[in-house]
Amino acid sequence: DFGTPASRATETVTLEIDGFPVTVPAGTSVMRAAAEAGISVPKLCATDSLDAFGSCRLCLVEIEGRAGTPASCTTPVTPGMKVRTQTPKLKQLRRGVMELYISDHPLDCLTCAANGDCELQDMAGAVGLRDVRYEAVENHFTPRNAGGDLNPQWMAKDESNPYFTYDPSKCIVCSRCVRACEEVQGTFALTIEGRGFDSRVSAGMASDSFLTSDCVSCGACVQACPTATLQEKSVIEIGTPERAVVTTCAYCGVGCSFKAE
Ligand code: FES
């Protein structure tokens, strides 16, 4: 996974990443250029098949002569650019970002259907997170707050779709599902409601479940989800198959891929 889609430009750009010269097509993201050079930048919201969105802030880099720490997935390469991906400051920032994610996430990894196949889990390890300093008293997954009142942000699982479940408590709002629905399937069934801490994925403002929404059950959102938020029911019921093949759905011409036993 190179993190962002390939550029089709014919002209090339040469830059330096962590001291290594890299030549890539113009319009390539810094993240993809790094991947082409064998340098992996931590990420959660970027994938090969979806337009970069820049929401998770895990892929921060330093660029010589440029203030701040831009997201490598949304920053295009420029000639002569000098990029650093692994400085102590970046490592500290990434651990801080990951700490915030984990402080608002259920810690039931051992019994979670995505255990061993979870990008949040992988990235927590990749950035070296060992401790979470923030006490999760009132967050998205807690049905009741510390005072015993129903948490106004809590949402029940949506199990209405026959093929997959939606568990908002595990959502990191990376919007990969929303973008997959739009960019891969062209359905526009999903959206993000609310702002900031109140943001959440929703199967359409006018619908109260996936089953009654415009969702066509193509599975593109499930495949795009980096956690167990959108999970195949078969995986929840019988676990991840030990051996799986990736097959392409023949239902329409989009070409969505699925794991099959
Ligand atoms: Fe770049 Fe998420 S991968 S901001």
Containing 91, the helix (H) or strand (E) segment is helix 88-103
Whether residue 174 has pLDDT greater than 90? yes
What is this model's ipTM? 0.99
Residues 6+ apart with CB under 8 A from 99: 129, 131, 132, 133, 134
Percent of the chain surpassing pLDDT 90: 64
95 assigned to some structural domain:
no
Boundary (domain end) residue, out of 36, 59, 86: 86
What is the per-residue pLDDT across 7-48, written as a single tens digit (0 to 9) for each? Answer: 999 999 999 999 999 999 999 999 999 999 999 999 999 999
Strand partners, 13: 24
What is the per-residue pLDDT across 185-198, written as a single tens digit (0 to 9) for each? Answer: 898 999 998 887 77
Q: Do 146 and 220 sit in the same domain of this protein?
A: yes
Q: Do 106 and 225 sit in the same domain of this protein?
A: yes
- The pick from 73, 90, 101, 173 for probing ligand 1's pocket by mutation, whose C-beta has the most ligand atoms within 8 angstroms, reads 73
Cβ proximity of 219 and 165 under 8 Å? no
- Mean pLDDT (whole number) for 149-155: 71
Alpha carbon distance 189, 221 (integer Å)? 10
Q: Do 15 and 122 sit in the same domain of this protein?
A: no
- Mean pLDDT (whole number) for 156-181: 92
Going by alpha carbons, the residue nearest to atom 3 of ligand 1 is 43
- Domain hosting 30: range is 1-86
Q: Do 115 and 66 sit in the same domain of this protein?
A: no
73 assigned to some structural domain:
yes
Alpha carbon distance 253, 226 (integer Å)? 24
Per DSSP bridges, beta strands 12-17 and 82-84 are parallel
Whether residue 238 has pLDDT greater than 60? yes
Q: Do 7 and 105 sit in the same domain of this protein?
A: no
Q: Do 77 and 135 sit in the same domain of this protein?
A: no
Mean pLDDT of the chain: 88
Whether residue 249 has pLDDT greater than 80? no
Alpha carbon distance 80, 66 (integer Å)? 13
Boundary (domain end) residue, out of 86, 111, 135: 86
Q: Do 113 and 26 sit in the same domain of this protein?
A: no
166 assigned to some structural domain:
yes
Q: Do 67 and 162 sit in the same domain of this protein?
A: no
236 assigned to some structural domain:
yes
Collapsing DSSP to helix, strand or coil, 150 comes out as strand
Closest Cα partner for 139 from 93, 113, 107? 107
**Atom in ligand 1 nearest the alpha carbon of residue 54:** 4
Containing 22, the helix (H) or strand (E) segment is strand 20-25
Look at residue 147 in the predicted model and tell me its pLDDT: 73
91 assigned to some structural domain:
no
Boundary (domain end) residue, out of 55, 86, 117: 86
Q: What is the CATH number of the domain that holds 39?
A: 3.10.20.740
Domain count, the chain: 2
Whether residue 128 has pLDDT greater than 80? yes
Q: Do 243 and 154 sit in the same domain of this protein?
A: yes
* CA 49 – ligand 1 centroid, Å: 14
Cβ proximity of 158 and 203 under 8 Å? yes
Q: Do 82 and 133 sit in the same domain of this protein?
A: no
CA neighbours within 13 Å on the CB side: how many for 132?
16
Q: Do 110 and 60 sit in the same domain of this protein?
A: no
Closest Cα partner for 151 from 161, 141, 159? 141
**Which of residues 27 and 157 earns the better pLDDT score?**
27
Q: What is the CATH number of the domain that holds 105?
A: 3.30.70.20
* CA 233 – ligand 1 centroid, Å: 28
Confidence of residue 138 (pLDDT cuts 50, 70, 90): low
Q: Do 68 and 115 sit in the same domain of this protein?
A: no
Q: Which residue has the tokens 């993240």?
A: 31
Alpha carbon distance 201, 62 (integer Å)? 31
